[in-house]
Structure formats: C-alpha cells, structure tokens
Chain A
Amino acid sequence: MKKIINVHLSGLLIPMEDTAYDMLKAYIESLQRHFSQEPGGDEIVSDIEARIGELFQERLRKGENCITDADVQAVIAAMGKPEELGGESEQAQASSSQAYVELRPRKRLYRDPDDKILGGVCGGLGAYFGVDPVIFRLVFALLFFGAGTGVLLYLVLWIAVPRARTASEKLEMRGERVDLQNISQAVKEELSGVKSRAQDLGKEAAGVFKKKENNDIGEAFREIVLALLRVIGWIAKIALILIGLVIIFSLGVALIAMIGSSAMVIPLKSFIWSGWWPGLFFWPSVLLVLGIPVVAFMIFLIRKLSGARRMHAAVGYTLAFLWLLGLVMLAYMARDVGQHFRMKSISKVSIDFHQPSVRTLYVKLQPVLGAHEITGRRNFTIIGNWISLRDDSLFYPNVRVHIIPSPQDDSFRIEVNKSAFGATMDEARENADRLSIPFVQDDSVLYFPDAVPLPMGVPFRNQQIEIKIFVPNNRQAFLLGKSGWEDENGNDGDDADQETDKTISETSTAQHWQPHRFSLTELSFCDLTAKWEKEHDTASAHANEWMDGLLYLFFSLFNIQPR
C-alpha cells in the first residue's frame, strides 16, 4: 500500500508515490549541495527541476496514474548523479588541461558522521590514514589527561574539518591512500601551476617588449625576461611560505613561553597594576592576541593539507572577533597602565659625604641585581638577571652614575636626581621621593648599589636614580664597573694590579646586601674594607700618581670607561 501525494514541480502538478517523492527530494537536495558553490547554482537546479517535471508529465500523458520509484530512478539515471555532472572545480581543471586529476579523486579529511563519539574527528582521521579510529581516540584521551592539549587540538580539528555529508564526500573520505607519492604529486601540481602563471606573465611582459624591438635582441631579451620571471615567481612563492612558517612558529613559541612563564610573572603584576581587575584581563587577552593567529593558521594548514573545500564563514568571523576582543582588552590595559605614566617628576637631592683624602674618587656600583642565589619560591630573575624579584621587592637596573667635570667647584660634589612617573604631578613626585639611595663611603671609594628595590605595594613607575658626581679641577673620579672584572682578567697585569683586583673582587663577592635593612651601620664588610684601606693606603702613599695612570690604562683596556 502506498500513499499518493501531489507535488508541485516547477509549475506542474505531479501525483507521486510518497517513496518516489522522498527519492526525488533527496536527489534534488544533493544537486543543490553540489551546485551550491557555483554562481548560478540555483538556476541550474531549477532548470533541471523543470526538465524532470517535463519528463514526468510525458509519462503521465502516456497513461500512468502516478510517478513511481522506478520512474524517479529512470529520470535520475537519465539526468546523472551530482558527482557525474561536474562542477566548477572540474571546469577550472579542464581549462588548465589538468582534467586527468579528476579521474583520481584526492583523499580528503572529513569528519565521519557514521563513526563518531563526539564530532567524528577521530573517525575521519582513522579513515584518512586507513587505521582504526580507536588509536586516535586513545591519543586524544592521553593528551587530555597529559596536559589538556588534546581538548584544544580536538576543538581545532572539529572546527577546521568539514563533515562528510554526501556520498561522494564519504568516498573522498575513504578514497585513495595518502602517501609520499601523492603528496609529492600534489606539490608538483601546485608548483607547475605557479610556473605556468609565471610563464603567462612572462609572455605578456615579453609581448610588451617585443612591440618595441622586433629583432634577435628582442627575442633574447624576451627569453631572459621569461626565465627571470619564472625564477622570481618561484622565489616569491617559497619566500612567502617560509615567512609564514617563521611568523607562525615564533608566535607559537611566544605563546608557549608566555603560558610557561605566566606562573612566574604573576607576582610582578602587583607592581604594574593598581587594581585587581586589569591583571585579571591580562592573560586572557595575551592568549587571544597570540593564540588566535596560531589557531587560525593551524585550521588553514589542516584544510589545505586535507583539501577541504567548504569553510564556514562563521569560523572566520568568530576568530577575527576573538582576536579583536583580545586586542581591545590589551589596548584598554595599556591605556590603564599608560594613565599612571602621564607625568614625570624629577627631584634633586644633594648628598653629604666626606671629601676623600686623595685626589681621586672611585665610585663602585655594588651588584645587587642577580648577585644572590635564588632561594625561595618568590625569588626569580627574568631576562638575564635584569629584573628580579626577591623578598617581595622588585629589582631592576635603575641606578646610573654620571661623572661630570666641574671646574667652578673646589671639592667633590654629589647630586642625586630621583625620577618617577605618575598619573598626576603630585603622585609622580611622591613615587620619586619614596626612593632613597643608600651609600657607603670608604675614604676615596664610594659604594652605591646598582639597583634600588621597589618594596611590595610600591607600584612600578619607572623610578630611576641618577647620581651625578661633579669633579673639580685637578681631581679625578673613576667609575668602577659592576661586578665584571674578576671573571675576565684574574691573571692579567702586574702584581700591583692583581692586588687591587683581588681586593675589589673580594669586596664585591663577600659583601652581603640586604635591600630592606640597608644602612651604613649594618653593612657587613667592615673588616674587608679595613684590608682594602690598608692596601690602598700603601699604594697611594707609594705611588699615587702612577697608580692612577695604571688603573686608567687597566680600565680602558677592558672597556670600563671612566667618565
């Protein structure tokens, strides 16, 4: 028993068996899908529909009561299945005389709707590589429990890989084996495409030249231009691919590095943001801005490699939106931070110290940055000891020393410029004034730390300390380097040098810096300085003049610029 339904087919009323109708409907839908990517696809399908209607009408006129399954099957056989009709892609290939490619459909990566647990990704991968999907399911499960990366990878694949919907797509899914030969052939085809395009371009360009010079030289020139363009085309293509890969690779590395170090840098946040909420946005936005291009490129790569044709526009829009969102968030935070860097205040302070007994003043910057071993959880250094966080204080190189000749003075003079930023002038001044530079004097040697720490709770506003040492006539001042020279030239120079050397190095290594409790009395290098004093005194007593000259030579040898 069958139900007869009346179907309106492009202006004709056709009585059909319901099963025949279902079959016809499926056929027309498959045609619609097949031609959906082609301009005028709707027109093609409605033309075919009209023709089918005509054929049915003919049959009814011959005396049939209604259209049966057999009639529909006959019509489908006469019209041809969608995959037999050829689409735009086939035409494009035919026009570039590569029609033979169509004979061996390339295997494509699809999601398998018939063999799925979540999205059919593993089923599709299994079909693509010709192995049991269980293997991929296991790999994803392990990745999930391993580091959670399996989830991300699965989601990317789910978005990037289209679902096999039609029979031909399912065939493609299980189609030809993907092996090295296929891949190399695909690459060759791609490259020959570039070659032919370059050749076309070459011919066109050569045509322009040929009009001007219609002789042998012109012909030779044409050949050269042709070859040149071909080479340029190749190089451009390869360069583009390489640049793309490098960019994506570095983005990926940056992302991984950011994620990896995120736990370490979190304590720094309290020095940058005043409130809790900008910091809350920071990692999500960095993740979006760096991560989205990586994900997008992965999707692109997967689709390119698997030869997927369809791409949901929504995926592109979503990725673009997320990326912009990340960018806006970053910009907002940059603005928030920038607000606190609007004003700069510099305050001048004079430092009282004893005039040295000799004519030369040595200034030594004591290494604070990276001088300690990392002991606690919250102690770490970033970028080669440049920025470090110890005992909840932030260290960064913020002390500079300038030695300035000042003929109008008759004694050494030290001036300290403290500078900092702030949202307002008052705030900036307050930030600057909070810094104090501790120093120790040992007659002719002045010890300064090479960094003044910011304690927890004091925000980072690029606080800087500039120490200006004004040197009067007939006096000298030298800046001794940070920690450097004991490693570099332990055995250099003569005895006197070595002596000096050793003493300084001992001083700098044995000295113990405690940023919070830094004061003159609590420094623990008193006994060492006594030794230094003794030796220095003897040296200066014996040969004040040549010692200075020798030291100067010594410093300049190792690029320590006395100013």
Chain B
Amino acid sequence: MNIDNTQSQMRKGVLEFCILAIIRQGEAYPSDIIEKMKAAGLHVLEGTLYPLLTRLKNAGLLKYRWVESPSGPPRKYFSMTPEGETFYHMLEETWREMVTAVNQLTQNN
C-alpha cells in the first residue's frame, strides 16, 4: 500500500463536500476556492478542482456567471442551485455520521 495514494484518496473523497461548503457561503471563483482551502489547511492539487467544478456544474448542482475582472479576463463565479443545496445537506449528514464513527473508532488508539 502506498501512503500517498491512500492520503490523496481520503482527501479526494471530501473535496466535493468542501467545494460545495465554500460556494454555499457565497459566490466564489476557482482561485478564491483554492485560497480558502489552503487557508484552512487542505492541500490538494489545484488541477483536481477544475474537473470537479465542471462535473458539479454539469450535474446541475452548481451554476456560474461571468464577472468582469479589474485585472485580466472575466472570471467564472460559481453559486449553488437548489439541487446543490439538497446534495450538500445529504453530504453533510454523511460527513457527521462518518466523523462520529471515525472518532469513536480512533479515540482509544
């Protein structure tokens, strides 16, 4: 077993949840999302974000609009759709269950 692989798998699993959580707080464009995740201490390859955003958008969970930028080309600002909201709540529930379960299982170690 390769530890890097396992770690990146663990991160990937929660990545969608985190992206939705960030966007839920307010419209965000990809660089914002990356900055926020870095600030929170979640380090992922930036490249993984873009395919995920496109997939979430294609699945109807996210929508975006173009916003003119003062320094450069227009940016894509993402926001939640109602479907995204329900999806997020389901993920949140799963996350809480997992946290409780994992904490319970690991606290005696």
In the complex, A275 has a CB within 8 A of chain B:
no
In the bound complex, residues from chain B placing their C-beta under 8 Å from that of A448 are none
Partner of B48, one of A39, A43, A47, A86: A86
Docked CA distance A457–B46 (Å): 81
Residues A47 and B46 in contact, CB atoms below 8 Å apart: no
Residues B47 and A48 in contact, CB atoms below 8 Å apart: yes
In the bound complex, residues from chain B placing their C-beta under 8 Å from that of A103 are 1-2, 5, 9
> What 1/0 flags go to A64-86 for Cβ under 8 Å of B?
00000000000000111110111
In the bound complex, residues from chain A placing their C-beta under 8 Å from that of B1 are 103
Docked CA distance A39–B57 (Å): 11
Partner of B50, one of A10, A39, A51: A51
Residues B53 and A47 in contact, CB atoms below 8 Å apart: yes
- Nearest B residue to A81 via CB reads B47
In the bound complex, residues from chain B placing their C-beta under 8 Å from that of A43 are 54
Residues A79 and B47 in contact, CB atoms below 8 Å apart: yes
> What 1/0 flags go to B6-49 for Cβ under 8 Å of A?
00110011000000000000000011000000000000011110
Residues A54 and B54 in contact, CB atoms below 8 Å apart: no
Docked CA distance A31–B50 (Å): 12
> What 1/0 flags go to A537-562 for Cβ under 8 Å of B?
00000000000000000000000000
Partner of A40, one of B9, B55, B73: B55
Residues A80 and B5 in contact, CB atoms below 8 Å apart: no
The interface size of chain A toward B, counting residues with CB under 8 Å, comes to 30
In the complex, A205 has a CB within 8 A of chain B:
no
State whether A12 and B50 are in contact (beta carbons under 8 Å apart), knowing that A47-B30, A84-B45 are contacts in the complex: no
Docked CA distance A38–B46 (Å): 19
State whether A40 and B48 are in contact (beta carbons under 8 Å apart), knowing that A47-B30, A50-B73 are contacts in the complex: no
Residues A80 and B48 in contact, CB atoms below 8 Å apart: yes
State whether A57 and B72 are in contact (beta carbons under 8 Å apart), knowing that A43-B54, A86-B51 are contacts in the complex: yes
Residues B54 and A80 in contact, CB atoms below 8 Å apart: no
For the residues of A in contact with B, the DSSP-based class is helix
Partner of B9, one of A12, A47, A99: A99
Residues B47 and A12 in contact, CB atoms below 8 Å apart: no
Closest CB in chain A relative to B14 CB, distance in Å: 12
In the complex, B58 has a CB within 8 A of chain A:
yes
In the complex, B71 has a CB within 8 A of chain A:
yes
For the residues of B in contact with A, the DSSP-based class is helix
Docked CA distance A12–B74 (Å): 11
In the complex, B63 has a CB within 8 A of chain A:
no
Partner of A38, one of B13, B45, B51, B75: B51
Docked CA distance A80–B47 (Å): 6
In the bound complex, residues from chain B placing their C-beta under 8 Å from that of A12 are 72-73
Docked CA distance A39–B5 (Å): 26
Docked CA distance A53–B30 (Å): 13
In the bound complex, residues from chain A placing their C-beta under 8 Å from that of B55 are 40, 91
In the bound complex, residues from chain B placing their C-beta under 8 Å from that of A38 are 51
- Nearest A residue to B48 via CB reads A85
Closest CB in chain B relative to A42 CB, distance in Å: 10
State whether A40 and B31 are in contact (beta carbons under 8 Å apart), knowing that A51-B46, A84-B47 are contacts in the complex: no
In the complex, A343 has a CB within 8 A of chain B:
no
Docked CA distance A57–B71 (Å): 9
In the complex, A87 has a CB within 8 A of chain B:
yes
Partner of B45, one of A11, A50, A80: A80
Partner of B73, one of A53, A85, A91: A53
Closest CB in chain A relative to B28 CB, distance in Å: 14
In the bound complex, residues from chain A placing their C-beta under 8 Å from that of B31 are 51, 54
Docked CA distance A94–B13 (Å): 9
The winner among A47, A81, A87 for most chain B CB atoms within 10 A is: A47
Docked CA distance A31–B48 (Å): 12
Closest CB in chain B relative to A444 CB, distance in Å: 93
In the complex, A399 has a CB within 8 A of chain B:
no
Docked CA distance A53–B72 (Å): 9
In the bound complex, residues from chain A placing their C-beta under 8 Å from that of B8 are 84
In the complex, A440 has a CB within 8 A of chain B:
no
Residues B45 and A54 in contact, CB atoms below 8 Å apart: no
Docked CA distance A48–B46 (Å): 9
- Nearest B residue to A85 via CB reads B47
Docked CA distance A103–B47 (Å): 19
Closest CB in chain A relative to B69 CB, distance in Å: 9
State whether A87 and B45 are in contact (beta carbons under 8 Å apart), knowing that A11-B73, A51-B30, A53-B72 are contacts in the complex: no
In the complex, A35 has a CB within 8 A of chain B:
yes
Residues A48 and B45 in contact, CB atoms below 8 Å apart: no
In the bound complex, residues from chain A placing their C-beta under 8 Å from that of B73 are 10-12, 50, 53
In the complex, A7 has a CB within 8 A of chain B:
no
> What 1/0 flags go to A338-366 for Cβ under 8 Å of B?
00000000000000000000000000000
The winner among B9, B30, B47, B76 for most chain A CB atoms within 10 A is: B47
In the complex, A44 has a CB within 8 A of chain B:
yes
In the bound complex, residues from chain B placing their C-beta under 8 Å from that of A80 are 45-48
Residues A78 and B46 in contact, CB atoms below 8 Å apart: yes
Closest CB in chain A relative to B7 CB, distance in Å: 12
Residues A85 and B51 in contact, CB atoms below 8 Å apart: yes
In the bound complex, residues from chain A placing their C-beta under 8 Å from that of B75 are 50
Residues B72 and A40 in contact, CB atoms below 8 Å apart: no
Docked CA distance A50–B53 (Å): 14
In the bound complex, residues from chain A placing their C-beta under 8 Å from that of B51 are 35, 38, 44, 85-87
Closest CB in chain B relative to A510 CB, distance in Å: 87
24 pairs, CB–CB < 8 Å, chain A vs chain B: A11-B74, A38-B51, A39-B58, A40-B54, A40-B58, A44-B50, A44-B54, A47-B76, A51-B46, A51-B50, A53-B72, A54-B31, A78-B45, A78-B46, A79-B45, A79-B46, A79-B47, A84-B48, A85-B47, A86-B48, A91-B55, A94-B12, A94-B13, A99-B9
Q: Beyond the given A51-B46, A80-B47, please list 11 additional residue pairs across the A-B interface where CB-CB is below 8 A.
A: A12-B72, A40-B54, A40-B57, A47-B76, A54-B31, A79-B46, A80-B46, A80-B48, A81-B47, A86-B12, A103-B1
Pairs A-B, 8 closest by C-beta atoms: A11-B73, A80-B45, A80-B47, A79-B47, A40-B54, A47-B50, A85-B47, A79-B46
